[in-house]
Amino acid sequence: MHPVGVLGCALLVASIAAADEREPVLHRIVIDGPISPATVDYVDAAVAHASKEGAAALIIRLDTPGGLLNSTKTIVQTLLAASVPVIVHVAPAGSSATSAGVFVTMAAHVAAMAPGTTIGAAHPVSGGGEDIAGDMRQKVENYAVSLVESIAEKRGRNIEWAEKAVRESVSITEREALDLRVIDVVAGDVETLLARVEGREVDLAGKRFRLSFARADGRAPAIVEIPMTFRQRVLSVVSDPNIAYLLMMAGILGLYMEFSNPGAIFPGVAGVICLLLALLAAQVLPISSISVLLLLVGFAFLVAESFLPSFGVLGFGGIVAITLGSLFLYTPDSNLFVDRSLVMTTVLVFAAIAAAIVLTVLRDRRRRPETGTEGLVGEIGTTITPVHREGKIRVHGEIWNATSRSPIERERPVRVVRVDGLRVSVEPSQED
């Protein structure tokens, strides 16, 4: 082939390869659980990666019952400042964007829902699902309303409905959400979603940006799935307020068993691992330092009860400290609480341990000595020689000097009534 022809073919191949490289690629993550600090890390990393790789958009497939308000706020900030288009798709059918999911969905550049999904019920509640009481209720509610209204205004969505979702916990279907301008698109799958938002303009970091996902060959763009890392999965589990509490209690219980039975090894190893995981959760959860101190003091009192018997005083103090530390483990402004049934179960377990310690100590105190000179009193022996003012008996396999108030013949059973140094006082026994 002529050199010019070879060069032309090479340039053609290179241009085709370059064109292929410029084909739009989408990144996608899946959030199918509560919004937590692990979700924040997941979303932040995905947005940064999609931006770095020049992705045409980042799709977030969402199905959440809600989550932490602070975590939701951080995700909203990330989505509003994202330099890559973010599409939140509430899917598949049967999914919902409840509570925190409302904020995340409305903060996206494109909000979409699949048929058979719902959105709403964004009224703030405590970490245990209970209504927030007192002045804190109004404070948190007003903050949530201001946040969702600012999001709706920023993205041009229905501000009035957004407020109702928070104050009145209203919930609507995907069709109602589309009619009320809460979302932009109803689509059952990604292909339909992309086709319906093709050419739409969005506000990307303060600039108008036209979405384009079309490929030269007419096929759907490639989608790169971004799964959670191992670290994010572990953090997702331990950052649950109840799981973090269980890990902390399991760690304390394991160390208590190790201190009470030195050399058991396994309880100590398991306890240390649980406590380290609890510390990992403490890095992302708003845990009160005073409450942690109460838990540690309670643990110290229970250990002290084992070594310095106080007939239940230390054990009772330990139970009180553990109960208070459990009830107020998380800071008040976080609205997080440990489930009350879980606290009750934990306190009952530690109370049972303290009661067992006290009963064991009392039983040991009441038990007659079985060793040493005190253990001889009441024991039955046999005279080796006649015993009166002096004599010898055999008891516990040992020969002792003995005295008695009345003469006792040889080879007669006697009972030890007193021990004076190396001499015992005996009396005739009715046992043969």
Higher pLDDT, 68 or 370: 68
The pLDDT assigned to 134 comes to: 55
Q: Which helix (H) or strand (E) holds 14?
A: helix 3-21
The pLDDT assigned to 314 comes to: 83
Helix crossing, 159-167 with 135-155: angle to 10°? 160
Q: Which two tokens stand for residue 147?
A: 């946040």
Preceding amide of 286 cis, omega within 30: no
Rounded average pLDDT over 5-12:
45
Predicted confidence band of residue 373 (pLDDT cuts 50, 70, 90): low
Q: Which helix (H) or strand (E) holds 276?
A: helix 266-282
Q: Which helix (H) or strand (E) holds 163?
A: helix 159-167
The pLDDT assigned to 361 comes to: 65
Rounded average pLDDT over 8-29:
58
pLDDT digits (tens, 9 = 90+) for 217-230: 667 788 999 999 99
Spell out the domain ranges in the chain: 3-230, 240-366, 373-428
The pLDDT assigned to 140 comes to: 79
pLDDT over threshold 50, residue 107 = yes
pLDDT over threshold 90, residue 360 = no
Predicted confidence band of residue 207 (pLDDT cuts 50, 70, 90): confident
Higher pLDDT, 94 or 396: 94
Q: Which helix (H) or strand (E) holds 420?
A: strand 413-420
CATH 3.90.226.10 fits 3-230, yes or no: yes
Average pLDDT, the chain: 84
Contacts of residue 105, Cβ cutoff 8 Å, sequence gap at least 6:
62, 88, 90, 97, 111, 113, 119, 183
For the residues of 215-256, what is the DSSP string, one character each?
-TTSPPPEEEE-PPPHHHHHHHHHTSHHHHHHHHHHHHHHHH
Q: Which two tokens stand for residue 322?
A: 């553990």
Distance of alpha carbon 177 from alpha carbon 120, whole angstroms: 9
- 309-314's contacts with Cβ under 8 Å and 24+ in sequence apart are 309/357, 309/358, 309/361, 311/358, 311/361, 311/362, 312/354, 312/355, 312/358
Torsion of CA 124, 126, 129, 134, to 10 degrees: -80
Rounded average pLDDT over 287-295:
88
Coil, strand or helix at 22: coil
Is 272 in contact with 255 (CB distance < 8 Å)? Answer: yes
Radius of gyration of the chain (CA): 37
- CA 68 → CA 35, 121, 170, 239, distances in Å? 6, 14, 19, 10
pLDDT digits (tens, 9 = 90+) for 54-106: 999 999 999 998 888 888 999 999 999 999 999 999 999 999 999 999 999 99
Predicted confidence band of residue 176 (pLDDT cuts 50, 70, 90): very high
Architecture of the structural domain at 373-428: Beta Barrel (2.40)
pLDDT digits (tens, 9 = 90+) for 318-356: 889 989 998 888 877 666 778 888 889 888 888 887 787
Residue 212, class by beta-carbon neighbours within 10 Å (0-12 exposed, 13-18 middle, 19+ buried)?
A: middle
The pLDDT assigned to 430 comes to: 75
Higher pLDDT, 177 or 260: 177
pLDDT over threshold 90, residue 197 = yes
